[in-house]
């Protein structure tokens, strides 16, 4: 198997990244288009049109795409080829595989969720190379986990395994967790701002950096700014979030006994400064032997783990066909 | 494949159960011997001697054992054939597979941990029949989970996956969790007594049923007795434990999206009266779609799930060989 260019596509909530990869994992060319306000079939046609254009223009310069993989920001149902993506309107049960196949013809296509693609990307070209048991913990606007078990993605009975944003980590239950889950409510990008808002409400005398910001506009980035200025409320916010991140990592260690846990997503990023503190917190809680054996690392492919994973899906899909 | 009697062996911390099974899963004969204070090779010889005797006496009545499976109370390292069992002295790294093979000769032998065997037993003859994604949550003196993913046992990178007793479920970290894990410290058989002791210490004015019991002797069974008499401290104890059990079940649902969660072990048993409350607690925390799809059930094989699982290991072992 030589010279088999792969097409990787990462559909996000706001934009779509297309890239042609060599089978060895280098990006040959790359393009991003904005999703805009498109929904339903309009969003679908933007993607299938982009694929068509890319296949054609590649073919004009002598590159014949042999296989395509797509990462979707939500859930992929492997038995039906349909996707559920909360941030694209009308995609509650969208037949993406069917739509894409109409465009790609003989080129095989395979789809999976962004969290599954992210761990596969790290296994192929990132910090989980060579691992067969590894987890990608994605902390951004939401929180999810891509989990590799014995070299295979953990899907569960209905393709919704890895919903770690729902992990219960602190009693008592709070009605505000509904719609997010305990972990995501407290420790996603928006969660950081929520924790800070609660602390601000509890500290009416506070007059630091954050008091100059309209509370309705408070975002994680303000907390990082405040933290860098030595703000105590920001420090308290992150110390709470570090406890959540550390406990979640510990629970992944105890349950899965993985070789690696990769921490990525938009917040890691800036929150990588807390990685030593998160490791220390995880070590207190986790099964001690598994804890000694695991490596906890940042993503080696920031913003691109899912794109690489989509191309790896494409690669594995033709390798399997060749084996058959 | 007909008429292929299987030998299942369940090594516990205090006794060893041997049973001959039909390949359809009925017990043909069964025997239990006490481990006593035996450790190291003495414990090993008790087991291999038992196996030899059983194979011989079966053969005298015309039953030819075709395959044997063993459940161990700890960790089984599949690549080395060695076991780690905290409750049998000198078995920190005992070469059980090698010792047993010396006795069984041509009869194939396979070993796994009690938690793995328990979920396999439920899949074969219990409440998880037909499942490919299911979890056995074992709550006894300790807490562990046998986890089936895509029909395969989740082993992790070093065979210690499923160490759910270490699950972090409530902040802040307490130094007393070291050696147990947060979940096990608060919600195992001994954990129930520990929670009650803490509540007794916090309520010096309490004069109910439990005040008549020497606190150093306090056990989970006393709490069930007190609960049945309407004791308020016992009710508070179990309400705290129900929160832990419910949160742990919720986390299994959100992470694994399983078809079934089977709750077993010595405490379930008597704590099965709380199953509706545990389900309600789990439902509040878990990913809502996975939560709607999962079934949470008691073990159908109380005290025998691991024994059935050991025989199922034996059965699968020869089925695989026949396929090869």
pLDDT digits (tens, 9 = 90+) for A135-147: 999 999 999 999 9
Chain A closest-CA separation from residue B19 CA (Å)? 31
Q: What is the mean pLDDT of residues B33-62?
A: 93
Question: Would you say the C-alpha torsion A267, A270, A271, A276 has a positive or negative sign?
Answer: positive
Nearest CB to B163 within list A145, A170, A254: A254
Q: Tell me what pLDDT residue B2 has.
A: 46
Q: Which of B134, B130, B164 is nearest to B148 (CA)?
A: B134
Distance between CA atoms of residues A301 and A186, nearest Å: 25
Distance of CA B255 to the CA centre of its chain: 20
Q: What is the mean pLDDT of residues A183-209?
A: 96
Chain B closest-CA separation from residue A89 CA (Å)? 19
Q: What is the mean pLDDT of residues B218-225?
A: 96
Residues of A with Cβ-Cβ distance to B133 under 8 angstroms: 156-157, 161
**Stretch 242-261 of chain A: residues touching chain B, C-beta under 8 Å:** 243, 247, 250-251, 254-259
Please state, rounded to an integer, the average pLDDT across all residues of chain A.
95
Question: Does residue B324 carry a pLDDT above 50?
Answer: no
Distance between CA atoms of residues A265 and A73, nearest Å: 12
**Which ipTM was obtained for this model?**
0.96
Distance between CA atoms of residues B277 and A277, nearest Å: 36
3-state SS assignment for residue B9: strand
3-state SS assignment for residue B231: coil
The backbone torsions φ and ψ at residue A272, rounded to the nearest 5 degrees and listed phi first, read -60, -20
Q: Tell me what pLDDT residue B65 has.
A: 95
Rg of chain A, C-alpha, whole Å: 21
Give the CA dihedral A277, A280, A286, A288, nearest 10 degrees. 160
Q: Tell me what pLDDT residue B322 has.
A: 52
Q: Which of B197, B170, B198, B172 is nearest to B184 (CA)?
A: B170
Do residue B157 and residue A289 have CB atoms under 8 angstroms apart?
no
Distance between CA atoms of residues A146 and A210, nearest Å: 34
List the single range of A78-82, A180-184, B56-60, B280-284 with lowest mean pLDDT. B56-60
Nearest CB to B255 within list A162, A177, A284: A162
Cis bond before residue A172 (omega within 30° of 0)? yes
Q: Are A122 and A305 a contacting pair, CB within 8 Å? A: yes
Chain A closest-CA separation from residue B136 CA (Å)? 13
A and B: number of Cβ contacts within 8 A: 147
Do residue B167 and residue A256 have CB atoms under 8 angstroms apart?
no
Do residue A254 and residue B167 have CB atoms under 8 angstroms apart?
yes
Residues of B with Cβ-Cβ distance to A163 under 8 angstroms: 254-255, 257, 287, 290
């Amino acid at each position: 198997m030589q010279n088999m260019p792969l097409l990787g596509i990462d559909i996000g909530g706001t934009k779509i990244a297309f890239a042609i990869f060599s089978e060895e994992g280098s990006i040959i060319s790359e393009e991003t288009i904005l999703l805009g306000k498109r929904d339903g079939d309009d969003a679908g046609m933007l993607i299938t049109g982009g694929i068509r254009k890319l296949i054609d223009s590649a073919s004009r310069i002598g590159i014949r795409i042999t296989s395509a993989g797509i990462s979707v920001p939500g859930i992929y149902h492997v038995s039906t080829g349909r996707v559920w993506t909360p941030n694209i309107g009308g995609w509650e049960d969208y037949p993406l595989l069917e739509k894409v196949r109409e465009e790609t013809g003989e080129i095989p296509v395979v789809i999976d969720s962004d969290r599954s693609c992210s761990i596969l990307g790290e296994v192929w070209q990132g910090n989980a190379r060579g691992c067969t048991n590894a987890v990608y913990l994605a902390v951004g606007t939401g929180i999810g986990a891509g989990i590799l078990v014995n070299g295979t993605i953990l899907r569960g009975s209905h393709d919704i395994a890895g919903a770690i944003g729902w992990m219960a980590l602190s009693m008592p239950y709070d009605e505000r967790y509904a719609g997010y889950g305990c972990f995501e409510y407290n420790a996603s990008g928006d969660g950081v701002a929520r924790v800070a808002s609660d602390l601000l409400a509890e500290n009416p005398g506070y007059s630091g950096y954050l008091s100059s910001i309209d509370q309705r506009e408070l975002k994680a980035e303000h907390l990082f700014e405040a933290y860098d200025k030595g703000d105590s409320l920001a420090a308290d916010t992150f110390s709470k979030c570090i406890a959540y991140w550390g406990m979640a990592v510990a629970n992944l260690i105890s349950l899965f006994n993985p070789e690696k846990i990769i921490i990525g997503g938009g917040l890691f990023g800036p929150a990588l400064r807390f990685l030593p503190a998160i490791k220390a917190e995880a070590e207190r809680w986790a099964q001690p032997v598994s804890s000694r054996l695991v490596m906890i690392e940042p993503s080696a492919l920031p913003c691109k783990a899912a794109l690489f994973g989509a191309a790896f899906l494409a690669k594995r899909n033709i390798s399997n066909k060749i084996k058959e």
